[in-house]
Structure 1
Amino acid sequence: MTDTADAAKRRGPQKRLQYGEGREALLNAAVRVVARGGLRKLTYRAVAEEAGVTHGLVVHHFGSRDALIEEALSHTIRTSLTTSALEPGTGKVTDFTSGLSDMVTTVPDAQMFQYELLLEARRRPELLPQIRALYEEYFEATRRELARMLPDGANRALSRLIFAALDGLVMHQLVLDEPEVTDAALEEMRNLLRLLGADGADGADGADGVDSAEASVPVE
């Protein structure tokens, strides 16, 4: 009996999944396969084995390996946007990226998948247009939330700078496993945003509060 057959026997009967549920389960399986072994390990058969379904079901849902890759990347980015609070929509500095370190801890495979795709795009330039388009979602989400926080808004360069810092923190936490360092760095970033005038009410008990107290002292 082959290893594949042994694995199938251990899993027992194949699952019958509903369309929406099955699609998401297969995307999550694809993410796990790539996170463990890199993009070159991503095959229909590997995803089917990871999800505990038939090879044909993967083909039915996605049709091509490239379609599977693109949809899996889009799936991980949507998940990351939701769990990281990159764009909470409140315009409050304290809310910005409040879930970032927890996101890396709870869904590390999604982050690893994205970095694998970025590196693979260096070897396979045909992947770059899809990756660039999907990463624009991150850039735009960052820009919109900064625009809510900063009185003068945020240009593309500032948005990219902030996102690049966040992206680096995610990678460092994936490798070094130091969520407390991530949290401390994020708080420093929020302090810098307050210095730029972000969410003045949020920082009223900080430097702005001191200035107001000093202003109330009569000058002789």
Structure 2
Amino acid sequence: MAGTQDEGPERVDGRRLRYQHRREELLQAATEHVLQHGLDRLSLRRVAESAGVGHAALLHHFGTRERLVAEIVERVLDRAFTAPELLDGAPAGEPEGGPLRALWRHATTGRGEQYVRLFLAITGDALHDEALAGAVRRSVRERTGMLEAGLVREGCPPQEAGALATLVLGAMRGLVLDRFVTGDAARVDAAFEEFVRGVELRLARSSP
């Protein structure tokens, strides 16, 4: 009997891990679907088909479409406007380098662009949806805090970093929206470069 008791928890934990792994696969499949088609066109049946499972499997793991949407939103908000170079504190003095340029490249190309496009769509919906608004507020606070820490590393006085981080994130959101909607990448990229140079000049004046 003792052996059976020792083995029981291991079997339960192993089963739970398998379920968790499958749940992550389904959440990623749903996120991919939304990145391609948007939240408004999210269909549990289509997600289930793309993941190779039955509709009941999605309901088992997420319960309702609303709960699945909430988890997708959290994932998208966590992955938009982030770049490893920013966290690493890359030098800002080089014309083609620096954390802000790295963040811009990440937000306007490849996977980063997909997440930022959906981030902007969610932000727009949040104007009329308090549940989404709460998630967006949390995400903006986190993005601003990340930028604030990066700016302090670059020499910005801590007492000024919060306001400057807010300005940077707001400017980037506006510029990237302009870029996506108009398709005029050259004009918007040039405007962003002018903005970054202004930030760099301010940081240079603040450095001891």
State the alpha-carbon separation in 2 of the partners of residues 197 and 128 from structure 1: 32
Q: Decide which moves more: 179-188 or 138-147.
A: 179-188
Q: Aligned residue for 1:212?
A: none
Instruction: Give how far 1:104 is off.
Output: 2.3
Letter paired with 2:98: D
Decide whether the 8 Å contact of 2:126 with 2:132 is kept in 1: yes
Correspondence for 2:34 among 24, 30, 33: 30
Give the conservation status (yes or no) of the 8 Å contact 1:139–1:159. Answer: yes
**Residue 76 of structure 1 aligns to which amino acid in structure 2?**
V
Pairing 1:100–2:104 present: yes
The structure whose residues are more often helix, as a share, is 2
Distance 1:41 1:84, change over 3 A: farther
Q: Secondary structure at the match of 1:45?
A: helix
The question of whether the paired residues in 1 share the 8 Å contact of 2:29 and 2:51 is answered with: yes
Asked if the contact 2:29–2:50 (Cα under 8 Å) also holds between the matched residues in 1, the reply is no
Which amino acid letter does the alignment assign opposite residue 56 of structure 1? A
Residue 128, structure 1, aligned to residue 136, structure 2: no
Shift of 1:47: 2.9
Partner of 2:57: 57
Runs of 5+ unmatched residues, structure 2:
1-20
Distance 1:125 1:99, change over 3 A: closer
Deviation digits for residues 137-196 of structure 1 (CA, Å, limit 9, x no counterpart): 211111111111134133432211110001112111211223333432332223112221
When residues 151 and 120 of structure 1 are mapped into structure 2, their CA distance, relative to the original with a 3 A threshold, is closer
Structure 1 Cα separation of the partners of residues 88 and 179 of structure 2: 25
* Superimposed CA distance per residue, residues 87-142 of structure 1 (whole angstroms, 9 cap, x where no aligned partner): 23315223223242453231343223222222222222232112211222211111
Higher Cα Rg, which structure: 1
- The match for 1:79 is 79
What is aligned with 1:90? 89
**Identity of counterpart residues, as a percentage?**
23
Amino acid at match of 1:141: M
Q: Does 1:193 align with 2:192?
A: no
Summarize the Cα distance change of 1:155–1:83 in structure 2 as closer, same or farther, 3 Å threshold.
closer
Q: Under a length normalisation based on structure 2, what TM-score does the superposition of the two structures give?
A: 0.71
The corresponding residue for 1:70 is: 70
Match of 1:216 in 2: none
Between Structure 1 and Structure 2, how many residues are aligned?
180
Aligned residue for 1:47? 47
Match of 1:119 among 95, 104, 124: 124
Q: Equivalents in 2 of 1:116, 1:61: separation in Å?
A: 26
Select which of 164, 168, 173 maps to 1:167: 173
Gaps of 5+ in 1: 1-17, 202-220
Aligned pair in 2 of structure 1 residues 169, 176: CA closer, same or farther (>3 Å)? same
**Larger relative contact order (Cα-Cα within 8 Å, sequence gap ≥ 6):** 1
